Amino acid sequence: MNQDHLYQVLLAPRMTEKTVLLSESSNQYVFKVATTATKKDIKQAVEMLFEVKVDRVQTVNVKGKQKNFSRRSGKRSDWKKAYIRLAEGQSLDASAE
């Protein structure tokens, strides 16, 4: 896999109350990823960037909301997020990267 492509797969960590609880309880981390990224791409990107062993990757396509912008209706962009479970004994600090 091309290294430049792997750098473009992970866009940002998702830091919400739910994701913090997931990281503390079940060693799962949540990232906003490129909409074209596959589970294999996401796994390789996390393992390369953070130097950890990924156990499982789950993805969710989030649909953009319908919004009104000063008398015009519009739609926010669709995006994709990935739930990444690390192997036992592995951890990462997503806020530092």
Entry pTM: 0.86
Q: Is residue 38 part of a domain?
A: yes
CATH classification of the domain holding 12: 3.30.70.330
User: Using one digit for the tens of pLDDT, what is the confidence trace for 38-48?
Assistant: 999 999 999 99
Contact predicate 13/95, CB 8 Å: yes
- Match 């669709």 to its residue by tokens: 78
pLDDT single digits (tens) 60-93: 999 999 999 888 999 999 999 999 999 998 888 7
Task: Give a yes or no: residue 94 inside a domain.
Answer: no
Q: How many domains does the chain have?
A: 1
Q: Is 93:29 a contact under the CB 8 Å cutoff?
A: no
Domain range for 63: 3-86
